[in-house]
Amino acid sequence: MIIKGVKLQNIRSYIDESIEFPEGSTLLAGEIGSGKSSILLAIEFALFGITRGVVSGASLLRTGKKQGSVELHFRIQNKDVVIKRFLKRQEEDVRQDSGYIIVDGLKKEATPVELKSMVLELLGYPPQLLTKSKSLIYRYTVYTPQEEMKQILLEKSEYRVDTLRKVFQIDKYRRIRENTQIVLRAIKQQQNLVEGIVQDLKEKQEQLKQIKDGLKQAEQSLEQSEIKLKKAQTELRNKQEQIKKNERQIKELNQLKSNLEVEETKLRNKVSLIQRDGKEINQLEKETNDLLEKSEEIKVVETAKDEKRIQTELEKAQQEHEEVLKKQAELEKDIKQQEFIIKQEKKVVDDISSLKKCPVCRQDVTEEHVEHIKKSQENKIKAAEKLIQKSQFDLEYVKEVLTKTKEDVQRLREQHKKLIELRIMAKEKQNLQNLMHEKQKRMKSLEEEIKKLKQEVGSINTAKVEIHKRVEGYKNLEEEYEKLKEELEGLFVKEKEIAVVVTKIKTELFSKQENLKAVEEEVHKKLEAKKRLQKLKQIQNWLQELFINLMTVIEHHVMMRVYNEFNEILQQFFEVLVETEVMTIRIDEEFSPVIEQNGYEVDYEYLSGGEKTSIALAYRLALNKVINDLIENIKTKDLIILDEPTDGFSTQQLDKIRDVLDALNTKQTIIVSHESKIESFVENVIRVNKHEHTSTVT
């Protein structure tokens, strides 16, 4: 790290000032209180911010000002870095505000803590220093404030040793030991815990063995019971089969019985049919006999020709008779006609006798005319009377004929009637015979039917016998069925009992297996625990016997190295600064300087001011070199700032500073001194002046 420059605004005696630092050795020269140390404090503030109890905001911000800032420019690891921090007055307190950092032109706003973290990284300081109030590495290597130079030596030795242990990171070995003890305690606890687990391992193993034996027994008894169960199940199945067969047979038997009933019914029907037919035959026989009798009673005469002849005769007689009747009517009519005519003629005679005038021509009727007419009329009457006489004669004859024809017709009619009756009787006989034939035919068919029915009865009886035979074959079926059922019931009970036993054994087996699993797991865990216990014991042993001791040894070695190197370097610087013939120096194990003068150990307190300063400077420079040498990553090895390192030096001693600077051979050295003699030892001088409470730099 090389500081390029710093800008101060309202920092202590400064209002607004920029100071540039060249490489090589630079002296900050100025009167007492001119503002030299302020620049160095500002640089530390720019890097690490305010640190409680070390650099306060109030000590930095210029009195009467509300805010101030420091802007530091430096180069580190080929990077140009600018870092700016701000201070703000708030009521009675002064606080730091957020600032920024620019690395190779890349600007980053950041809080004070973030800035510190980034600076630690850039400087290669251990990041754990972030929370520490003092940046010890910086203070022991780069810059120790003026007043603190001697303070290091005056501090209590434990504190110094403790600080150095921290700086050299030796402290970690103690922490490792402490942590190891914590780990060991934890291991012990674990061990106790694990021992508790392992304690009853043997008993558990014995228990496991017993469980296994019990399990084996249970398995054997399960096997046996399962064989029994299988057997019982087979028996049960067989019985069920038998019952099924039996049931089938019973069904068949019932079918046979119902068939038998059907046959019986059929038989009864047939028998009743036979009886009915027999009765009908008897009836028919009787009827046939009756009919035979009746028909034999009827004598049959051949009448057909006679009937025809008589019929013809009858028709002829009737015709004749009718014609005679007609003749009689005609004659009677004729008589009546003639009688009417006579009556009419007689009336005409009467009328004419009394008639004087003609009604038509109104002329008087003459006697002659009356007589003439009377005569003609009497002639007409005589003719009529003659005709009547003749007709009456004829009528007498006709009447005689009529009697005869009437008798003929009567006789012929009776004859004809008789013949018809005969014909009807013949017909009736025929009918009777026909009926008889039909009855005989019916009888024959009934006989046929009876014959057939009897045949059927025969076959029904045969079937019945057959059925009976089969039914006989199924005798005792129901009894057998009941017996089988009873046996099945027994088998069911037996099977159930065995199944219950099997289930019980299985449940037991399951719980035994579960138990086995649990105990096995437990034993497994305990065995694991045993292994773990061994491992823990090994670790414990290793930590206790080896690791802690190793840490002590390493710590001792590291410490010895630091001690040796420190001692050597301290002596080197001491030799440069002090006459070794007069005084020698070494450090004890607590890094306290042991000074011998004239063969006697002398207390630091008793030394002169110049001697104290020399020893403090030598110690301070040795510290710088040892830390820089031993802590590899530190990036501030190129820079050392010394604030008034020569307090109380004689002029002669001041010359030694030149040798010291040569011995340091640092790239950049900043020395603060009011000793003008130093100016000739350095390459650059920066003058600090204060005028009217304000510092300026030239």
Ligand X SMILES: Nc1ncnc2c1ncn2[C@@H]1O[C@H](COP(=O)(O)OP(=O)(O)OP(=O)(O)O)[C@@H](O)[C@H]1O
Cβ atoms of 11 and 70 within 8 Å: the answer is: yes
Span from 28-36, 78-86, 187-195, 346-354 in contact with ligand X (CB under 6 A): 28-36
Question: x-or-dash pattern for ligand X, window 91-130, by CB under 6 A?
Answer: ----------------------------------------
- Residue count, binding to ligand X (CB under 6 A): 15
CB of 603 to Mg ion, least distance (A): 28
Nearest to Mg ion of 43, 562 (CB atom): 43
* Least Cβ distance, residue 27 to ligand X (angstroms): 13
Q: Examine residue 26 and tell whether it contacts ligand X (CB under 6 A).
A: no
- Written as six digits, the tokens of 172 are 């970690």
Cβ of residue 587: shortest distance to ligand X, in angstroms? Answer: 29
Stretch that binds ligand X, among 56-64, 104-112, 495-503, 533-541 (CB under 6 A): 56-64
Q: How far is the CB of 666 from ligand X (least distance, A)?
A: 21
Polymer length in residues for the chain: 698
C-alpha dihedral over 69, 75, 80, 82, to 10 degrees? -10
Q: Return all residues near 457 (Cβ < 8 A) that are at least 6 apart.
A: 267, 270, 271, 274
The counts of H helices and E strands in the chain are: 14, 15
Which structure tokens are listed for 584?
């020698």
Q: For residues 145 and 214, which CB has a smaller minimum distance to ligand X in the complex? A: 145
30 touches ligand X (CB under 6 A): yes
Region for residue 11 given its phi and psi (left: phi exceeds 0; alpha: psi -120 to 50; beta: otherwise):
beta
Q: Does 63 bind ligand X (CB under 6 A)?
A: yes
Shortest Cβ 540–ligand X spacing (Å): 58
What gap in Å lies between CA 475 and CA 483, rounded to an integer? 14
Q: How far is it, in rounded angstroms, from Cα 154 to Cα 159?
A: 10
- Measure the CA–CA gap between 172 and 166, rounded to whole angstroms: 8
Residue closer to ligand X by CB (options 63, 319) is 63
Please report, as residue ranges, which positions from 136 to 155 form the binding site for ligand X (by CB under 6 A): 146
CB count within 10 Å of CB 38 equals 22
* Stretch binding ligand X (CB under 6 A), from 26-34, 242-250, 476-484, 601-609: 26-34
Task: Please choose which of ligand X, Mg ion, none residue 32 contacts, taking the beta carbon within 5 to 8 angstroms, the exact cut-off set by kind.
Answer: ligand X
Does position 423 interact with ligand X (CB under 6 A)? The reply is no
Bridge partner list, 643 = 672
Part of the chain binding ligand X (CB under 6 A), chosen from 25-33, 297-305, 465-473, 629-637: 25-33
Least Å distance, CB 623 to ligand X, is 22
Residue type, 262: V
Question: Shortest distance, CB of residue 14 to Mg ion, whole angstroms?
Answer: 14
295 binds, among Mg ion, ligand X, none (CB under 5 to 8 A by kind): none
The only residue of 32, 106, 360, 582 in contact with ligand X, by rule CB under 6 A = 32
CA distance 61 to 13: 9
3-state secondary structure string, 460-474? HHHHHHHHHHHHHHC
Q: How far is the CB of 57 from ligand X (least distance, A)?
A: 10
Residue 598's Cβ-count burial label (10 Å; 0-12, 13-18, 19+) is exposed
Residues that bind Mg ion (CB under 5 A): 37, 146
**Alpha carbons within 13 A on the beta-carbon side of 560:** 6
- How far, in Å, CA of 449 to CA of 455, rounded? 9
Q: Does 12 bind ligand X (CB under 6 A)?
A: yes
Which residues sit at the interface with ligand X, rule CB under 6 A?
A: 12-13, 30, 32-38, 59, 62-63, 146, 674
